[in-house]
């Protein structure tokens, strides 16, 4: 076995492919081989010997020390957006990636997507590849790798602080990306043919893996990471986060994510309990494990799922998810507007405490925790939205977001299954523009754009059946034209449908009276809404504009639904949104 340092942090970014299952021409009879046998390029160098690698043909390379500092080590198996990737075991200066040119790679697995750890050199690189399934059928895909020095930070897998060159180290960010493409549903992959001749730029592949389906699980709760913010610092503290379920089930697991981070975080222990009151549990918390171990390290940009544990999760109830931060944490991936009080302990591992005595501080955010899954047969509905979906201006600690009310409605009917409802609202989020740049510590928690977070927040979620999109008001409030917004919404719909999702859109609510909701902004809003209603892009439309507007003054919220800022509905308005949804459209 070869030894060495290798690492990085990744976040999936969708690239459109051809329709899964479409028959594609076979490019030739080359036998499939493991990816590492095809490596023909050296991308990573030790800082003391930068000339040993030449990633881009001009002598530049990635720093092995920077990669190791991100927590990615040679041969390590990591989970990123529900895909497990195994990193090369190559030492610095050894071959660690392949330049795509039609090579046939042995890949096994059955799932909804295929993920590649990639980067382009000499510009963005793209090309068409093919997947062969065990039943002999094939499908094609389009793979695009952003450039390792100029590609977008919002969709990067890792941003490293240096670039190595033979003449010395440059203080310039280097990037790696993970890109996913669709697979034919239900078919087992046998091999993957990489794109041939991607053009003037080289498309480099470091790893490839199938994202396997989470059979027998339902997503019951989730939250999006909107930024990476300063905290504490927290040293050897236990966080006890309060989250509210939609669906229930007899077993469960959690997902912790180190999104946007530049360094690893160590979890010493974790547990789950049903909340009794505040930080007190109804019974002694049940320990959670990670690969059979009590603790786990989460590399920069990666995520971990706990092992599934037998635990009766009630529907429409509040859980206490506790986890100990073993070291000192000064910044964390954050969902800012939890509208829910959670708790921080005194020093030590207090994950097993049923009582609340050790939890002496409170927070109103959700750091690190991004998902809870339960055992169940029903799929999930994911809602991609902004502050209205996030629940801003609803009553704190009362779970009155419109998605909470919708989840309760689904539990009280028998027309459709009681789907899990996953709230991926991010306050201040936009369809087109990144509020948080996607890298580094920032006070802005408005997230990367809906386009840039679609893969992580929807396509990689647990057994999503339907996507509901309720965004666009922040775009038009900040000057975007209707045509720009509708183009972005159309791309979101196309990418989701490519993965087999049902796609439902909600019209943008009125907001006259709020400072940025000018007459010009309202004109663009109405144009977007007209397109949503008539374009035929969606499987169904929720006319939230019609639900919330004042019939005597359609550019404004109905006063009974207005929280008072003329932009956000209050509890009554949010309930009206949920009550207007016909469960059959989901």
Contacts of 490 (CB under 8 A, 6+ apart): 535, 537
Q: How far apart are CA 180 and CA 175, in angstroms?
A: 17
Residue 577 and residue 479 share a domain: yes
Whether 429 is covered by a domain: the verdict is: yes
**pLDDT mean over 26-54:** 89
B/e letters for 341-359, b = 16+ CB within 10 Å, e = fewer, are ebbbbeeebbbbbeebebb
- Residue 570's contacts (CB-CB under 8 Å, 6 or more residues apart) are 393, 394, 561, 562, 563, 564
Are residues 300 and 261 in contact, defined by beta-carbon separation less than 8 angstroms?
Answer: yes
42 three-state secondary structure? coil
| Same-domain pairing of 434 and 394 | yes
DSSP label at 567? S
| 245, HSE (Cβ side, Cα atoms, 13 Å) | 29
Residue 22 reports pLDDT greater than 90: no
Q: Is 90 exceeded by the pLDDT of residue 157? A: no
Residues 57 and 110 in one domain: yes
Residue 561 sits in a domain whose CATH number is: 3.40.50.1110
Q: Are residues 388 and 452 in the same domain?
A: yes
Q: Looking at residue 36, what is its pLDDT?
A: 97
For 324-380, the pLDDT digits (tens) are 999 999 999 999 999 999 999 999 999 999 999 999 999 999 999 999 999 999 999
User: Which of 71-80, 129-138, 267-276, 572-581 has the weakest average pLDDT?
Assistant: 71-80
Q: Could you read off the pLDDT of 432-451 as tens digits, one per residue?
A: 999 999 999 999 999 999 99
pLDDT at 12: 29
Same domain, 50 and 199: yes
Q: Which of 474, 378, 380, 476 shows the shortest CA–CA distance to 423?
A: 380
Residue 219 inside a domain? The answer is no
Whether the predicted pLDDT of 16 surpasses 50: no
> 17 pLDDT band (50/70/90 cuts)?
very low
**What b/e readout covers 197-235, taking b as 16+ CB neighbours within 10 angstroms?**
ebeebbbbbbbbbbbebbeebbbbbbbbbbbbbebbebe
> Domain for residue 224, yes or no?
no
- pLDDT by residue (tens digit) across 505-544? 999 999 999 999 999 999 999 999 999 999 999 999 999 9
Q: Could you tell me if 63 and 146 lie in one domain?
A: yes
464 lies in the same domain as 496: yes
Instruction: Examine the fold and report which residue of 314, 336, 368 is the final residue of a domain before the chain moves on.
Output: 368
- Are residues 192 and 313 both part of a single domain? no
Of 368, 402, 423, the one marking the end of a domain is 368
List all residues 6 or more positions away from 246 whose beta carbon is below 8 Å from its beta carbon: 220, 221, 315, 316, 403, 404, 407, 410, 411, 419, 420, 421, 422
Sorting pLDDT into bands at 50, 70 and 90, what band is 3? Answer: very low
- Beta-bridged to residue 164, according to DSSP, are 61, 169
CA end-to-end distance (rounded Å), the chain: 50
SS (H, E, C) 309-342: EEEEECCCCEEEEEEEEEEEEEEEEEECCCCCCE
Beta bridge partners of 44: 62
In the predicted structure, residue 21 carries a pLDDT above the cut 70: no
Q: Quick one: 329 and 426 in the same domain? A: no
**Judgement on whether residues 245 and 208 belong to the same structural domain of the protein:** no
- Domain assignment present for 59: yes
pLDDT greater than 90 at residue 198: no
**Residue 276 lies in domain:** 229-368
Q: Are 280 and 345 in contact (CB under 8 A)?
A: no
Taking all residues of the chain, what is their mean pLDDT, rounded to a whole number?
94
Span 175-192, pLDDT tens digits: 999 999 999 999 999 999
Residue 506's nearest CA partner among 398, 580, 437, 560 is 580
Residue 362 shares a structural domain with residue 331: yes
**Structural domains counted in the chain:** 3
**More confident: 529 or 4:** 529
Confidence of residue 382 (pLDDT cuts 50, 70, 90): very high
Rounded Cα distance, 84 and 13, in Å: 15
> Are 228 and 159 a contacting pair, CB within 8 Å?
no
Note whether residue 7 is domain-resident: no
Q: Is residue 1 part of a domain?
A: no
Q: Is 3 part of a structural domain of the chain?
A: no
CA–CA gap between residue 164 and residue 166 (Å, rounded): 7
Both 417 and 552 in a single domain? Answer: yes
Q: Judge whether 92 lies within some domain.
A: yes
Peptide bond into 233 cis (omega under 30): yes
- Tell me the per-residue pLDDT of 65-84, one tens digit each, with 9 for 90 and over: 999 999 988 899 999 889 99
pLDDT in the model for residue 404: 98
């Amino acid at each position: 076995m070869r030894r060495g340092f290798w690492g990085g942090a990744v976040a999936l970014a969708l690239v459109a492919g051809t329709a899964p299952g479409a028959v594609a021409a076979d490019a030739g009879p080359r036998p499939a081989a493991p990816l590492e046998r095809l490596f023909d390029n050296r991308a990573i160098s030790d800082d003391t010997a930068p000339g040993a690698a030449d990633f881009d043909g001009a002598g530049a390379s990635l720093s092995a020390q920077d990669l190791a500092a991100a927590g990615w080590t040679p041969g390590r198996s990591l989970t990123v957006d529900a895909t497990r990737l195994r990193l090369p075991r190559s030492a610095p200066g050894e071959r660690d990636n392949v330049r795509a040119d039609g090579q046939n790679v042995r890949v096994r697995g059955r799932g909804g997507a295929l993920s590649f750890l990639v980067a382009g050199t000499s510009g963005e690189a793209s090309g068409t590849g093919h997947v062969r399934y065990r039943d002999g059928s094939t499908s094609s895909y389009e793979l695009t790798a952003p450039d390792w020095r100029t590609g977008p930070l919002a969709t990067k897998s890792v941003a490293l602080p240096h670039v190595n060159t033979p003449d010395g180290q440059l203080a310039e960010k280097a990037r790696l990306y993970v890109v996913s493409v669709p697979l034919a549903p239900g078919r087992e992959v046998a091999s993957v043919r990489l794109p041939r001749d991607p053009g003037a730029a080289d498309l480099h592949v470091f790893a490839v893996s199938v994202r396997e389906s989470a059979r027998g699980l339902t997503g019951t709760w989730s939250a999006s990471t909107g930024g990476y913010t300063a905290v504490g610092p927290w040293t050897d503290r236990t966080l006890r986060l309060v989250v509210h379920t939609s669906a229930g089930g007899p077993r469960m697991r959690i997902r912790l994510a180190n999104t946007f981070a530049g360094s690893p975080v160590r979890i010493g222990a974790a547990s789950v309990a049903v909340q009794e009151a505040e930080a007190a549990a109804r019974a002694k918390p049940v320990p959670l494990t990670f690969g059979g171990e009590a603790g786990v390290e989460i590399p920069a940009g990666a995520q971990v799922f706990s092992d599934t544990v037998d635990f009766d999760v009630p529907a429409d109830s509040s859980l206490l998810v506790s986890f100990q931060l073993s070291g000192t944490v000064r910044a964390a991936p954050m969902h800012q507007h939890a509208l829910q009080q959670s708790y921080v302990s005194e020093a030590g591992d207090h994950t097993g405490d049923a009582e609340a005595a050790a939890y002496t501080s409170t927070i109103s955010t959700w750091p690190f925790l991004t998902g809870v899954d339960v055992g169940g047969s029903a799929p999930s509905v994911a809602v991609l939205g902004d502050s209205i979906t996030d629940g801003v201006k609803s009553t704190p600690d009362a779970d009155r977001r419109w998605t909470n009310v919708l989840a309760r409605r689904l539990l009280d009917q028998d027309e459709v299954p009681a789907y899990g409802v996953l709230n991926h609202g991010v306050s201040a989020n936009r369809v087109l523009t990144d509020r948080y740049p996607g890298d580094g510590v920032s006070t802005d928690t408005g997230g990367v754009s809906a386009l840039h977070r679609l893969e992580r927040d929807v396509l990689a979620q647990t057994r999503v059946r339907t996507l509901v999109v309720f965004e666009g008001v922040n775009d038009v409030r900040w000057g975007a034209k209707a045509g720009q917004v509708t183009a972005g919404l159309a791309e979101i719909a196309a990418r989701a449908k490519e993965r087999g999702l049902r796609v439902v859109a909600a019209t943008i609510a009125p907001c006259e009276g709020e400072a940025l909701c000018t007459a010009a902004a309202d004109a663009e809003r109405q144009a977007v809404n007209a397109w949503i209603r008539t374009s035929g892009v969606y499987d169904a439309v929720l006319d939230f504009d019609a639900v919330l507007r004042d019939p005597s003054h359609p550019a404004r919220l109905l006063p009974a639904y207005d929280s008072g800022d003329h932009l956000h509905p209050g509890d009554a308005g949010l309930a009206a949104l949920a009550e207007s949804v016909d469960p059959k459209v989901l």
